[in-house]
Amino acid sequence: MRGHTTVSVDLGVIRATRLAIELRSPVEDRQKDYAEANRATRPLVVAVPGVFAGKTLALCGAGPSLNDTWTSIREYDHVFACNSALPYLVQRGVRVTAGVGIDQTPRLIEEWADPPAVPYYLASTVDPTLVTHLQAHGRQPIFFHSTVGFDGEFEYYCDRWPPMYMVGQGFTVLSRFLGLADWMGFERVDLYGADCAFGPDDVTHANGTIATNAYVNPLIMAGEIDGRTWRTRPDMLMAAVELARRVRGSDGKYRLVGDTLPSALLDKDDSFLDLVCRSLAPGERPPANA
């Protein structure tokens, strides 16, 4: 999702292996072209500040813990579902009020092949084919910007698009959308399916997909926290660390639901979280292996 982000990753607690891993978008050379194509969408609808002031939101990722928690998604003003969590929840009768997507690959077209009848909050850099697909089914895209780092990005958005929010924080669709949810005024956001890790047998999503099917040649890492081994990917691990910090500092506005890696990190101090995973400054290298 974000181009040229380098993170330092710890693969274990007892025997630390420090790695510098660069996270790149698979379509980073086309991101501006995608945004320009999506700007031609008619009608061009963008997210509005404060539109959900005082409301509560269940923001649902597609992690495997959703299998254990979806039945508790009730009595919220709104339920937004990311990626494959949308058809998963709709099929189970959950009243979903919007879909959320930022993926720049064609995967979302597959996951939303028969898109439920809800509005769709989309990053302006999604594959334009997705927008065409949704409109062909009578669905309304609502755009926001998810900063990805192409040259002149900020100026381009300011010059070529209507004024709207630019999300700049987060390593998964769920964690990225938190900034927009705050800008749109939600009073409390409960996070479902925010596993940031694989389930048993490397199940990655509540719909049963496994890592080797969901991702192309995934870099899978394992580490131990409080005696429990977690398996994950670099971007998901970074998202877990960041979500733990954001939830901890939100004074109850954000709440994690379910047995997830961010929940396991919630009571860890900053030095521990830095050891697990952190962003590196330009030119910085991780310390030597322990």
pLDDT digits (tens, 9 = 90+) for 93-149: 999 999 999 998 888 999 999 999 999 999 999 999 999 999 999 999 999 999 998
Measured CA to CA, the distance from residue 146 to residue 165 in angstroms comes to 8
Closest CA to 181 of 28, 75, 77, 40: 77
Q: What are phi and psi of 247, to 5 degrees?
A: -65, -45
Contacts for 83 with CB less than 8 Å, ≥ 6 apart = 61, 62, 100, 101, 103, 107, 108, 111, 173
Give the DSSP letter string of 129-193.
HHHHHHHHTT--EEEEEE----TTHHHHHHHHS-S--EE---SSHHHHHHHHHHHTT-SEEEEES
* Angle (nearest 5°) at CA 66 between 186 and 127: 70
| Edge-to-edge strand list for the sheet holding 277-279 | 18-23, 5-10, 277-279
Q: What is the pLDDT of residues 17-32, one digit of tens each?
A: 566 767 666 777 889 9
In sequence order, what E strands does 206-250 have?
221-225, 228-232
User: What amino acid occupies position 126?
Assistant: V
Measured CA to CA, the distance from residue 59 to residue 82 in angstroms comes to 8
Q: How far is CA 276 from the centre of its chain?
A: 19
pLDDT at 79: 98
pLDDT at 96: 98
Q: What is the pLDDT of residues 264-286, one digit of tens each?
A: 999 999 999 988 888 777 777 77
Contact (Cβ atoms closer than 8 angstroms) between residue 154 and residue 168: no
Higher pLDDT, 278 or 83: 83
**What's this model's pTM, rounded to 2 decimal places?**
0.90
Range 5-9 average pLDDT: 44
SS3 272: helix
Between strands 166-167 and 141-146, the pairing is parallel
Residue 214 pLDDT more than 60? yes
What would you report as the CA-atom Rg of the chain, rounded to the nearest whole angstrom? 18
Between strands 221-225 and 188-192, the pairing is unpaired
Structure token pair of residue 290: 């322990």
Higher pLDDT, 125 or 15: 125
User: What amino acid occupies position 135?
Assistant: Q
Measured CA to CA, the distance from residue 185 to residue 275 in angstroms comes to 34
